Structure 1
Amino acid sequence: MKNFSKHSKPKSVFVANRLQEVLLSGHWIANTNYKELLLETTWEQAIHKIGSLNTIAALTFHINYYLAGLLNVFYGGKLEISDQYSFNLPPIQSEKDWKELVDDFLRNAEKFVIQVEQMAESKLKEPFVEEKYGNYLRNIEGIIEHSYYHLGQIVLIKKLITEN
């Protein structure tokens, strides 16, 4: 039996590829990704409220909030985010406002993928800020799972909007 471990990609590259897939360019699991979906969403659709569901804009802000917060830690800063502020979306009142949110999201998504891809294997095992938050890998995988969860919501919300 051959030993394939020499030829396998580092865990950080594998995880970065999963992030790339959900955020920027994949189709394997969800048949779409944030970039594709958000770029084809109008600002009117983004702020369209359906019952008690979050808007597409609110969900975009929410995921971006966590990407930016973890990026700050990756760059050596403090963990300054709090769940209670993760839906504090400034008003989206025009196509310009929506485009700025989407552009900020895409910039952070690209930076996040690059940071994870370049992360040393040993860093993935280190505690993330404090031990109570788990390690870097757990937090990165949490971003992937959280992103897929809300991507599914965005897809369904957009379907409800376009069908009406």
Structure 2
Amino acid sequence: MTTKEVLLKQLSACLDQPNWFVPLSAAIEGLSAKEASYKSGTANSIWQIVTHLTFWNDRYLKRFKELPISQTHIANDETFSTNESVTEKDWQSAITALQNGLSEWIKALEECSEEKLLSSAYLEQMEPWSSVISNLTIHNAYHIGQIVEIRKMYGLWDSKNGVH
């Protein structure tokens, strides 16, 4: 199996292919805007996690495609922000943005060369894109697990979707 095939399998597992963990599609299935906004103390809501994942997936995808990035620096805490609106339309837009971003990553990987995956993702240091994308998938998997745990905490998880 090539590096590209491994990364494609990981991204697909994050998006919608059940594997060792619940994919995003199952983690957010049937969740309302109100439920996605629930917060406990200083913990992030599911909606905030979705916003955070969208930000980082999109940012690195733009870098991978060598497209301009609007902000050069942003504090990680700022990537969890959401607007005050808690409408179903806004929630569906947030979900769609994340799913589209992951789908775009899959497409970009399918179209890239192995050489691209071996090239450095950074100017200042040598870290190949393959390593960066692997870390991106780990980041997605981590937060998808948080979404499932938050749903369990609020009694919003059906174990038929996986993870008892």
Asked if these proteins are the same fold (TM beyond 0.5), I'd say yes
CA distance in 1, matches of 2:73, 2:9: 25
Query: How far apart, in 1, do the equivalents of 2:145 and 2:63 lie?
Result: 27
* Aligned pair partner of 1:57 in 34, 47, 51: 47
Retained in 2: the 8 A contact 1:12–1:118? no
Q: 1:75 to 1:94 in 2, by over 3 A?
A: same
Q: Distance in 2 between matches of 1:126 and 1:133?
A: 8
Q: Residue 53 and residue 21 in structure 1: after superposition, are their counterparts in 2 closer, same or farther (change >3 A)?
A: same
Residue in structure 2 matching 1:140, options 101, 112, 133: 133
Paired with 1:111 and 1:20, the residues of 2 have a C-alpha distance of 11
> Is 1:14 the equivalent of 2:29?
no
Measured after TM superposition, the shift of residue 73 of structure 1 is 1.4
Give the match for residue 100 of structure 2.
Answer: 107
**1: distance between equivalents of 2:146 and 2:114?**
32
SS at match of 2:31: coil
The equivalent of 1:6 in structure 2 is: none
Aligned-pair distance for 1:133? 6.8
Unpaired segments ≥5 residues, structure 1: 1-8
Q: Give the distance between the partners of 2:92 and 2:124, measured in 1 at CA.
A: 37
TM-score (norm 2): 0.84
Gaps in structure 2 of 5+ consecutive residues: 157-164
SS of corresponding position for 2:6: helix
Change (3 A) 1:13 1:117: farther
* TM-score (norm: length of structure 1): 0.84
Instruction: Give the Cα separation in 1 of the matches to 2:145 and 2:126.
Output: 26
* Cα deviation digits, residues 107-139 of structure 1 (max 9, x gap): 111001111222211111111132437221111
- The corresponding residue for 2:84 is 91
2:50 and 2:98 in contact (8 A); partners too: yes
- How many residues are paired up? 153
Gap change, CA 1:81 and 1:123, over 3 Å in 2: farther
Percent identical residues: 20
CA drift at 1:150: 0.9
Counterpart CA distance in 2 for 1:83 and 1:117 is 31
Match of 2:32 in 1: 42
Residue 162 of structure 1 deviates from its aligned partner by 1.6
Pair 1:156-2:156 in alignment: no
Q: Which residue of 1 aligns with 2:61?
A: 71
Residue 4 (structure 1) aligns with: none
